[in-house]
Chains A and B, each alone.
Chain A
Amino acid sequence: MKTRIDSVEDITRNFAEQGYICSDQIALAIYLAAQLHKPVLVEGPPGVGKTELAKAAAAFLEAPLIRLQCYEGLDESRALYEWKYGKQLLYTQLLRDKLGGMLADTDSLEASMSRLGDLGEAFYSETFLEPRPLLQALRSEEPAVLLIDEIDKADQEFEAFLLELLSDFQISIPEMGTVKARHQPLVLLTSNDQRELSDALKRRCLHLYIPYPEASHEAAIVAARVPELEAELREQLVAFIQYLREQEMKKLPAISETLDWARALVLLHADSLDQAMVADTLNLVLKTEQDVTLARELLPAWLRKFGKR
């Protein structure tokens, strides 16, 4: 992992080379997070590139990306570690004779017990420990980027469980004691605002809100990601998407949808947005029937106004 980040501009530049066009605020948040060793909570509407940001950050820092996808019912054994019960069981079965031999010359129960005790933690050793993403991040040989994706989908208990990790970069495992991070990972949490996160969690994190991008910004993103698209069509497409975002849609189109659409238009060899083309491909951008219908109604007026420039 890169240990030195020269400046915020450094990040912006590197991200741009990777094709992740970001605003100054985003770069600044990453810069501060890396310098102050603080986790960042990234919020914003779906599809604005929250997860991509973590990937870009990992590539920039030349660090492995460890990802934990949250969901309802996620618990410690999935997130942190698990004992490989099956393997433990198999080993005891296979070693049964050996154990029997070892204990053969003991005469009392106490003696057998103490001999078993001498075996020590054999059955609760690293061999049988299955590290899950959080433990991986803590024990990683080089500093890692840890992405805790969609934390709002996890239960509140899990959120509370994360607090120790986020503030001290350590975690307690009853059988093994406290595991401290070898290297402090850069932690990014994302949330789609499905539920309110606790104040305790927010307090430990820097907070970054990524809104829908402005037109010029979005055009730059499309240019970076879908360079095959002609400039004029790109402008048109971005203008239309921006216009859609101002309407009363059920689900607003995000950047990922803009990109999908741009790619589709390239495949279809479109050279300008016309009524038929848009009507055919609208469902790439809008994901509910109601929105598609609304957009179809709005389309002719929009084309008259902005379509041909």
Chain B
Amino acid sequence: MLSRRLSEFVQALRGAGLRVSPDEAAIAMQAVALVGYDSRQRFHDALAVSLVKEEQHRAAFETTFERYFEGHPQGQQEQEGDAAGAEAGSSGMPPALDSADGDGLEGSPGEQEGAELNALLSSSAEQLQQRMAEAAAGMDFTRMEVMTQQGLYTRRLLMNMGMGAVDDRVLQLAQGSAADEARADSLREWRSQVREQAASLVRRQFLLHGAAKGRELREQTMRQVAFRDLREFNEVKTLVRRMARRLASAHQRRLKVAKRGQLDARRTLGRSIRHDGVPVSLVWRRKPPHKSRVMVICDVSSSVSDAARFLLQFLYALNDVLPRVRSFAFASQFDEISDDFQRYPPDVAVGRVLDRLSGSGTDYGAMLEDFLGRCERELDRHTTVIILGDARNNYLPERAELLGQIRRRAKQVWWLNPEARRQWNSGDAVMASYLPHCRVAHRCANLNDLERLVDSLLTSLRAD
């Protein structure tokens, strides 16, 4: 019983985005068996120690635990269920249809339904749960996808249990005498208790089935929707982090390949001197660690700032593989923003930068000049310059020759444009004059684009 409950909990955790392997689940059960259930805190800690492997998952674990164990540990819940039943019993099992029902019956639904109602109302707490479980078994909870469907499913579950008859009865009684009124009240109370139980059953089912599927669905949407609409989703931060981490681990592994290869004859001979000229330990030539550096220039004027936010978050989440990122932002003015990102977590930093620099009236020519003034000396053949912007220059001189100068000093120039390719030259946009200097120019309008771009960026850096 308990192990079933725990494995359901593990499933709910998977739904909440934690990756729990069967092995870990088994350990969690052993751990719980060791510490027992007397202390809720300890029960919780034992599960946490064996199931939560990353700090960022802690919050998801806490909410799932809270919801799943509903504020009481295993045994206690059972008792409480009994207590509720007993209570219902002692209060005269309010709705039980004794003599009084004779008069109440006129105009009531068919006799059979009356009997069913009777059965329902007179059932003990256990029978009631049994009934609820049976009704639930007949329903397909696996199709629940979003949180808000829970109400619907709860209602359906209650109907399947035959609670509809109770609703009718309440209505009927409410119109009757004072005594009936009182009975209606107690019936209502009983009904809300049952409803509560049903709701919690549905919630558990949702955590089991719905949450995971809903998350998948939302994730797909989040990847495809334009950056500016992404604010509607509150899980986007987690998604970006996860995408970045996946890329990081993929590329990290590849970066380390080819460490061994040719024999380093000079150093092998040098070391052999210790051993009388016998080459005891061999030294292999190592690839020097790559020194590629990335400089990002982001347009943070209102039209592009959403894209900038995500590009920066992405790049700084890749700190493992891209240790040397310098970032700049401009709108009405140009400034370096690396420091903000070093001091604060990405989402805070982005907010600060936007506060400081955002505005309108972008001037790409002036930006290029500023950038060259500051960084020309640091551009070398390991440097990749990425510009994120819509190239809408407000009819100011575009000064594309400056970009040419950058390209000649740097390894490569990438241009990411949040607009669709056919709009790159419409209105005051001047992509055409910048394009010849860019090795790569791509649309970057949603997370999918971004992931693909960063992936190929990392690949191109590896070729250093």
Contact = CB atoms under 8 A, between A and B. Distances in A.
Interface of A: 8, 24-25, 28-29, 31-32, 35-36, 38, 41, 43, 85-86, 89, 93, 155-157, 195-196, 198-199, 202-203, 205-209, 248, 250
Contacts of A156: 252-253, 256
Contacts of B344: 248
User: Which of A29, A36, A93, A206 has the most B CB atoms < 10 Å from its CB?
Assistant: A206
A203 B280 contact: no
Given A25-B49, A31-B35, A206-B27, 11 more contacts: A24-B41, A25-B48, A28-B49, A32-B46, A32-B49, A85-B275, A156-B252, A195-B320, A206-B49, A248-B343, A250-B343
B243 interface: no
A89 B343 contact: no
A18 to B, nearest CB: 22
A24 B256 CA distance: 40
A199 B246 CA distance: 11
B42 interface: yes
Contacts of A89: 275-276, 278, 280
Interface of B: 19, 21, 23-24, 27, 30-31, 34-35, 41-42, 45-46, 48-50, 52-55, 58, 245, 248-249, 252-253, 256, 274-276, 278, 280-281, 320, 343-344
Nearest to B276: A89
Nearest to B53: A202
A28 B42 contact: yes
Contacts of B48: 25
Given A89-B276, A250-B343, A36 B49 contact: no
A93 B320 CA distance: 49
Chain B, interface SS category: helix
Given A43-B55, A156-B252, A206-B49, A36 B19 contact: no
Contacts of A41: 53
B281 A85 contact: yes
A248 B278 CA distance: 58
A32 B245 CA distance: 30
B152 to A, nearest CB: 37
Contact of B53 (A85, A86, A207): A207
A198 B253 CA distance: 11
Contacts of A208: 49
Contacts of B52: 207
B249 A24 contact: no
B313 to A, nearest CB: 16
B275 A28 contact: no
Nearest to B255: A156
A56 B54 CA distance: 25
Contacts of B19: 199
Given A156-B252, A196-B320, A199-B19, A32 B31 contact: yes
Which 10 residue pairs across A and B have the least CB separation, nearest first? A202-B53, A85-B280, A207-B53, A195-B320, A206-B49, A29-B49, A32-B31, A28-B45, A25-B45, A89-B275
B256 A32 contact: no
A35 B320 CA distance: 35
A86 B24 contact: no
A203 B256 contact: no
15 contacts: A24-B45, A28-B35, A32-B50, A35-B34, A36-B31, A85-B280, A86-B280, A89-B275, A93-B276, A156-B256, A196-B249, A196-B320, A207-B49, A207-B50, A250-B343
A157 B256 contact: yes
Contacts of A8: 35, 42
Contacts of A250: 343
Contacts of A31: 34-35
Given A89-B275, A248-B344, A196 B27 contact: no
A24 B248 CA distance: 35
Contacts of A36: 27, 30-31, 34
Contacts of B50: 32, 206-207
B49 A203 contact: no
B45 A86 contact: no
B42 A24 contact: yes
A203 B24 CA distance: 7
Nearest to B34: A35
Contacts of B245: 196
B42 A196 contact: no
A35 to B, nearest CB: 6
A237 B276 CA distance: 61
A202 to B, nearest CB: 4
Nearest to B321: A195
B382 to A, nearest CB: 21
A31 to B, nearest CB: 8
Nearest to B32: A32
Contacts of B280: 85-86, 89
Contacts of B256: 155-157
Nearest to A93: B276
Contacts of B248: 196
